[in-house]
Structures are given as structure tokens and as C-alpha cells.
Structure 1
Amino acid sequence: MATSFWSPVQLSIEIASVSVIWVFILGLFFGKVMANKKFRGKVFLDTIFLLPLVLPPTVVGFLLIIIFGRNSPVGQLIDWVFKQPVMFTWWAAVIASTVVAFPLMYQSSRTGFEAIDEDIENAARVDGANEFKLFLLVSVPLALRAIISGAILSFARALGEFGATLMFAGNIPDKTQTIPTAIFVAIDSGNMELAWLWVTSMIVISLLMLICVHLIKL
């Protein structure tokens, strides 16, 4: 019981942790770009970034299969470089979690950067700060609450991802079976005791994440 319970928990935390690193980097970069730049097609690009937030997870999973499947150029390149396809691997679960969690980090960081007074950033430029120093030493600290909130929500979203992960990474015990897919299998097999343990763990983790977000905003 203990082994079967902890394996999906450990996998979920590992996958969500790696996913949130990618989400954090990409969300900060694109959040900053979209907050300060005006260019043709910005609305379209913003819509694309937020699309995984409203698309059904199964649609996201289907698109990932199309993009990274063995018949696609990307899938064939991955197969040639790594000598194996990415589908139904640990990294497939990371990719799925990253895609569905990215909009939360992107939206939070963009909102945080948009709230910064432009006069403060311009003053830093006048004092000689280049764009990298401005971003790292001025913009990020001023938007830190929004950034941390976005990272926490992204981690919680990655941890709870089900549909896209099931389609793209599968449900392989000790390899790609996360808590949500494990709950599905437990209920399907009638193991309600184990299902309740995983459900309770997800509720507790989610509550802690939301509490952290609220405390940061105080």
C-alpha cells in the first residue's frame, strides 16, 4: 500500500517541479515582452499563450501528439537525437504539464510587469542600467508578488494535470503515472481506499498552495 501510494506522489512532485522551472523562465520572458512591447499581432500572440487555459486537456493532449508524434518533423528529430520517441516517457508528462501551466505564470507575470510605473524603469535607464539589469534588478523585484503567485499556481496546475498527460504520456506505473491518473485507475478498479488517500493528498496540497497565494497578496 505504502509503495503504491507514494510512487505517483513522488512522480507528480518531480514532474511538476521540473515543469514549473520551464514555466517560470518562459513566463517571465514572455510576460515582460508582452507587457512592454507594442507590435502587430500582439493580441493574436497573447491569445495563443492563454489558449491552453481554456482548451479541454484532451485537445491539448491531441495537439501534443500531432506536434511531437513520430510522424511529425519534431518527433522524428527527437527520435533521431535521443534514439527514442518522447511520447509515453517521463519527459512527455513534463511537456504536457508545462503547456497547461504556462498560461497562469505568463498571465501573472505580465500583470505584475504592467503594474510597474514606467517612470521608475526610465529612471533606471537614465542612471545607466541596461535592459538586462533593469529586468533583473528593477522589474522583477517590483513584480515579485505577482511572479511568486504565478509560480505557485503553475505548480498546482502542473501537479493536477490529467487529460493531456494521460493522452501524451500515458499511465505507466513508476514512470508516468501521476496522482490524477492514479486516482482514475484506482476508482476504475474499485480501490476506493487508495483513491481517497490520493484525493486527500491533492486537496491538502492545493489548499496549501492557495493559502500561500493569499498570504503573498496580503
Structure 2
Amino acid sequence: MEWTWHPVKMSFLAATAGTIITLSAAILIAHFMVKRRRRGEAILETILFLPLVLPPTVIGFILVVIFGSKSSVGRLIEYFTGSSVLFTALAAIIAASVVAFPLMYQSIKTGFLSVDSNILDAAEVDGASNWKQFIKIIIPLSTRSILTGIILGFTRGFGEFGATLMFAGNIPGKTQTIPTAIYLAIETGATRIAWYYALISIGFSFLLLLMVKLTGKQ
């Protein structure tokens, strides 16, 4: 096995794209969940947090079932694109999105809940719609929590292994990420290369977590 930059680039691509996708979903779902109490909320939130506690291989298996050629979703994608999602860069992005969601959602929801209800009540009295309250009050006052969620979600997606291995595979130069490259390096006895990738992962993750700590102290 030879050292290449592709796994590093692939990890950044999957984590960045996954974070962008997850951010929009996490903000909208968090706003939906905190707006008012709903029947079945506990069950829904339990489902949203499942990727945080399920074995990554289980997540990978579920993604294969959902997007595989035998599923309706998989056949629909193949019909429009002419190819399967499995063992592609898009599969790595989807895996990163799924595992990053719970951490990002929880952080953003915490930020939304911390907004003073008196401010929202005053805005409502002044005629501000729910949408205007969300855009001009809730989002700005939750910036720190949103930033923390972005960093945590990116870090989680950047280090994803099990789901990525099952869903995207470990194809050098195509779908190989840092975690899967480390796995292959150890399997082939290329310990030095495994250390190179591990040190890059440790260093970058350290910087991101340090940003979370510094953001929390501001």
C-alpha cells in the first residue's frame, strides 16, 4: 500500500458535504420539535438519535438496504442516473450525513430551547410571524450552538468508518477515506502509512474539538 492524499481529500469531501446536508435538516427538524409539544415526540426523537448508538455496521447495512438495487429508492436512482449509489463517493457522503445528524441536531435544539420565550412573545405582539421570529431572532441567538453542532457533526462524519466501509466500500482512489485507509494499511502490514493517516486524523480532530471548547467559553 502506498501513501496518497486521496483518503484525506475524500474524508474532507464526505464530511463537508455531509455537514451541509445535515445542517439544513437539523435546523428545520429542531425548529419543528421545539415549537410545540406533539404526540409521539419521544418516539420520534428516539429514532433521530438511533445513529448515535447503533453499531456503524448496522447503519451501513440499513443504507445498503435502502439504496440497494433491490429497493424502490435504489431502482429509482439507477433509472435517472444510470448507476447505483453503492460504492461511490455519494455513498460516503450519505453515510457521513447520517452519523453526523444526532450530534448536530442535539446542539442546535439546545440552542433553540435557550432562546428567551419573552423575546419571542414580544415579537409576536409586534406582529412578527413565526417565520420572521425563526429567521431574525431564533437563528441569530442560537449561532453559538449552531456552530458547535456544525463542528461536532463535521468531526463525526470525518471519522466515520463502519457505515462507510459497508456502504461506500474501501476503493483506493475512489471511496477510500482516512479510517478505511488506516484499516487497509494495518491489514497489509503498512504500519507507517497507518500512522501517517492516524496522525492527520488526530491532529485535525483535536483542532476541531478545541474550537468547540473555545466557542463555549466565549
**What TM-score does the superposition give when structure 2 sets the normalisation length?**
0.97
> What SS does the corresponding residue of 2:48 show, helix, strand or coil?
helix
Shift of 1:122: 1.6
Asked if residue 92 in structure 1 is aligned to residue 98 in structure 2, the reply is no
Partner-residue secondary structure (3-state), 1:5: coil
Percentage of pairs with the same residue: 49
- 1:47 aligned residue: 46
Distance 1:108 1:165 in 2: 24
What do the CA deviations read for 1:84-118 (whole angstroms, capped 9, x no partner)?
Answer: 11111110111111000000111111111111111
Cα shift at 1:37: 2.1
Report the equivalent of 1:124: 123
Q: Which residue of 2 aligns with 1:157?
A: 156
Instruction: Report if the CA contact (8 A) 1:105-1:151 is conserved.
Output: yes
- Alignment partner, residue 188 of structure 2: 189
Aligned match of 1:76 = 75
Q: What corresponds to 1:210 in structure 2? A: 209
Residue 136 of structure 2 is aligned to residue 137 of structure 1 = yes
Please state how far the C-alpha of 1:191 moved relative to its aligned partner.
0.7
TM-score, length basis structure 1: 0.97
How far residue 35 of structure 1 moved from its aligned partner, in angstroms, is 1.5
1:214 Cα deviation from its structure 2 partner:
0.4
Number of aligned positions between the proteins: 217
For 1:205 and 1:127, the matched residues in 2 are separated by: 46
Q: Which SS does the other structure have where 1:125 is aligned? A: helix
Hey, what's the Cα distance between the residues in 2 that align with 1:37 and 1:70? 39
> By how many angstroms is 1:121 displaced?
1.1
Q: Is the 8 A contact 1:5 1:194 kept in 2?
A: no
CA RMSD, Structure 1 to Structure 2 (Å): 1.2
- Unpaired segments of 5 or more residues in structure 2? none
Q: Deviations over 1:19-60 (max 9, x none)?
A: 000111111111111122211111111001011000000000
- Larger deviation: 94-103 or 122-131? 122-131
Q: For 1:4, what is the secondary structure of its paired residue?
A: coil
> What is the Cα deviation at residue 140 of structure 1?
0.9
The answer (yes or no) to whether the contact 1:35–1:111 under 8 Å persists in 2 is: no
After TM superposition, give the deviation of residue 163 of structure 1 in Å.
0.1
Relative to structure 2, which stretch is displaced further, 4-13 or 48-57?
4-13
Q: 1:5–1:198: 8 Å Cα contact kept in structure 2? A: no
In structure 1, runs of 5+ residues without a counterpart are none
- Cross-structure match for 1:31: 30
Deviation at 1:75, TM superposition (A): 0.7
CA distance in 1, matches of 2:174, 2:14: 10
Is the contact made by 1:89 and 1:176 (CA closer than 8 Å) also made in structure 2?
Answer: yes
